[in-house]
């Protein structure tokens, strides 16, 4: 194999907050330089602002001597294009739920959730591109009449890097999020896209893992790119048995898997290397902690101190964190619940602890869904803004019941860009083997024997309240949260 040593590759991550470029050694993965440019307020939904931020980040010699580049971007937001390649209307923001009604319509029209799972491996919701197509056709018909092609943010940015050729390109990981791509055939379901929009559309050419999408006008090799979650997994170098749990305002849990899954609460996406990436999403994560801290009138440090001053189980106080309804279990109209009030539990410490345990138990329900579907759950990589909480870091191994690693925040933040830089090195090499870049050095921390017993009690206490108050969720069914402990597979 030809050595990549000394050959530089770059990865671009365009999130809904900023554009980041990471330049790495193609052989070792060592970061040589990086830049970050944040978007102006309100610019997260403006593709031109993304391009402007990328150009600024790429200035000052950042891409000097770089031979290949890859792109990842926020997965939310369809970009409709006209015959000239101009953006017809701005993509919806990541937290915009205005396409939820369109998603419900499409689910019914295709024959229900099971039909969608069979067709594309996921059930559409307000964030899915197919739902955005229906919303655009239904509520913005004049704009829809101008649309000839549809792309996602990563597709559009890659197209810009390639000099706006006659066709768009994408990869299987981002294609799998659209609701009109089939993992079984490896190709588009043009019929579903047409059903959603009312007429045919041009869709991007699919580029396989490790293949180049083309070259920039400056002759840089451009890799296929990837969806943000797939890029993060590739950047962390996760293996079978690893699960990434991302704690943002909402939560996600996802892992590598070799086969298809037939569970409505799991989006069976594709990863950046050629296997599946099943994803479970919860609606309530950091917002639970922030809301409770606001109730208590404390800052993050004060909230953590209170939570860690209480004992496991919060003196019997249980918070079901369904502040905005919930995906797992399926409770779209539920509200949060606080139960188990006794004199000894009516303290700030118990309330803070109940919030942390409730949020983590909600995420653990997502892990249980993956586990029940046959996905190996042996270790957890914990990432996202929620990991800034000392209480979350301390309590997570006990609640999850498996070893937990928390990468350095800077390393985790650049992991998506590092993932597509690794992919760029793969495309540049022209070889079938993925470059073996090192994984983050974060240690895995497991609960000790006493903490494991306490964690079991916390999960059982939570599950008892959840199942008693929401029996309609059928959380004991194969597609629901089992409420039990995780085991090594």
pLDDT band at 435 (very low <50, low <70, confident <90, very high): very high
Three-state DSSP class for residue 181: strand
Q: Where are the domains of the chain?
A: 8-230, 237-407+442-489
- Cα(124)–Cα(128) distance, rounded to whole angstroms? 6
Helices assigned H by DSSP within 430-483: 449-469
226-227 and 66-73 strand pairing: parallel
Q: How many CB atoms lie within 10 A of CB 64?
A: 10
| CA-CA-CA-CA torsion sign (122, 123, 127, 129) | positive
pLDDT band at 461 (very low <50, low <70, confident <90, very high): very high
Yes or no: is domain 237-407+442-489 CATH 3.40.50.300? no
Helix H or strand E encompassing 379: strand 379-383
Q: pLDDT digit string (tens) for 295-328?
A: 999 999 999 999 999 999 999 999 999 998 998 9
Proportion of the chain above pLDDT 90, given as a percent: 86
Pick the CATH number of 8-230 from 3.20.20.70, 3.30.420.40, 3.40.50.720, 3.20.20.140: 3.30.420.40
Proportion of the chain above pLDDT 70, given as a percent: 95
- Cα(76)–Cα(417) distance, rounded to whole angstroms? 17
Average pLDDT over residues 3-30: 90
* pLDDT of res. 477: 41
Burial class (CB in 10 A: 0-12, 13-18, 19+), 446: middle
pLDDT band at 234 (very low <50, low <70, confident <90, very high): very high
The beta-strand segments (E) located in 263-343 are 266-270, 276-282, 318-320, 337-339
Average pLDDT over residues 70-86: 93
Three-state DSSP class for residue 53: helix
Nearest CA-CA partner of 277 in 266, 291, 288, 285: 266
Tell me whether the CATH fold assigned to 8-230 matches the one assigned to 237-407+442-489: yes
Q: Is the pLDDT of residue 489 over 80?
A: no
CA triple 186-242-227, angle to 5 deg: 40
> pTM for the full model?
0.93
* Structure tokens belonging to residue 277: 């990436």
Q: pLDDT digit string (tens) for 96-106?
A: 889 999 999 99
pLDDT band at 478 (very low <50, low <70, confident <90, very high): very low
Do the beta carbons of residue 157 and residue 54 sit within 8 Å?
Answer: yes
* pLDDT of res. 388: 96
| Half-sphere exposure of residue 360: CA atoms within 13 angstroms, side-chain side | 32
Do the beta carbons of residue 150 and residue 159 sit within 8 Å?
Answer: no
């Amino acid at each position: 194999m030809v050595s990549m040593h000394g050959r530089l590759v770059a990865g671009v991550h365009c999130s809904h907050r900023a554009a980041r470029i990471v330049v790495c050694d193609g052989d070792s993965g060592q970061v040589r330089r990086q830049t970050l440019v944040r978007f102006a307020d309100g610019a997260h939904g403006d593709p031109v602002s993304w391009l402007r931020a990328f150009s600024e980040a790429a200035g000052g010699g950042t891409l000097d001597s770089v031979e290949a580049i890859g792109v990842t971007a926020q997965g939310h937001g369809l970009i409709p294009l006209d015959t000239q390649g101009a953006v017809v209307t701005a993509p919806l923001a990541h937290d915009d739920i205005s396409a939820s009604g369109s998603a419900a319509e499409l689910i019914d029209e295709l024959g229900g959730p099971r039909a969608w799972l069979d067709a594309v491996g996921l059930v559409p919701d307000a964030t899915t591109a197919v739902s955005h197509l229906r919303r655009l056709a239904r509520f913005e018909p004049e704009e829809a009449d101008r649309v000839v092609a549809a792309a996602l943010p990563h597709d559009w940015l890659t197209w810009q890097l390639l000099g706006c050729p006659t066709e768009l390109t994408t990869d299987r990981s981002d294609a799998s999020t659209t609701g009109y791509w089939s993992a079984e055939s490896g190709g588009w379901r043009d019929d579903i896209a047409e059903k959603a929009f009312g007429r045919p559309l041009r869709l991007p050419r699919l580029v396989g893992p490790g293949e180049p999408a083309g070259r920039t006008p400056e002759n840089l090799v451009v890799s296929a790119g990837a969806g943000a979650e797939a890029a993060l997994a590739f950047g962390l170098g996760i293996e079978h048995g690893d699960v990434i749990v991302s704690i943002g305002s909402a939560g996600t849990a996802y892992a590598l898997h070799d086969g298809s899954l037939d569970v409505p609460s799991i989006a069976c996406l594709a990863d950046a290397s050629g296997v599946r990436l099943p994803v479970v999403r919860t609606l309530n994560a950091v917002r639970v902690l922030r809301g409770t801290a606001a109730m208590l009138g404390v800052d993050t440090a004060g909230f953590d101190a209170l939570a860690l001053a209480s004992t496991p189980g919060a003196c019997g106080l249980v918070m079901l964190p369904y502040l905005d309804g919930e995906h797992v279990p399926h409770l779209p109209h539920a509200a949060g619940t606080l139960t188990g009030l006794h004199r000894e539990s009516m303290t700030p410490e118990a309330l803070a602890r109940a919030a942390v345990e409730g949020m983590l138990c909600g995420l653990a329900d997502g892990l249980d869904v993956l586990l029940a579907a046959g996905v190996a759950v042996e270790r957890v990589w914990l990432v996202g803004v929620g990991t800034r909480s000392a209480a979350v870091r301390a309590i997570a191994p006990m609640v999850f019941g498996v070893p937990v690693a928390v990468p350095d925040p800077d390393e985790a933040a650049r992991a998506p860009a590092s993932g597509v830089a690794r992919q760029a090195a793969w495309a540049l090499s022209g070889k079938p083997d993925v470059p073996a870049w090192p994984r983050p050095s974060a240690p895995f921390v497991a609960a000790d024997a006493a903490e494991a017993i306490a964690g079991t009690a916390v999960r059982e206490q939570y599950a008892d309240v959840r199942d008693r108050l929401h029996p309609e969720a059928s959380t004991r069914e194969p597609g629901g949260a089992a409420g039990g402990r995780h085991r090594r597979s």
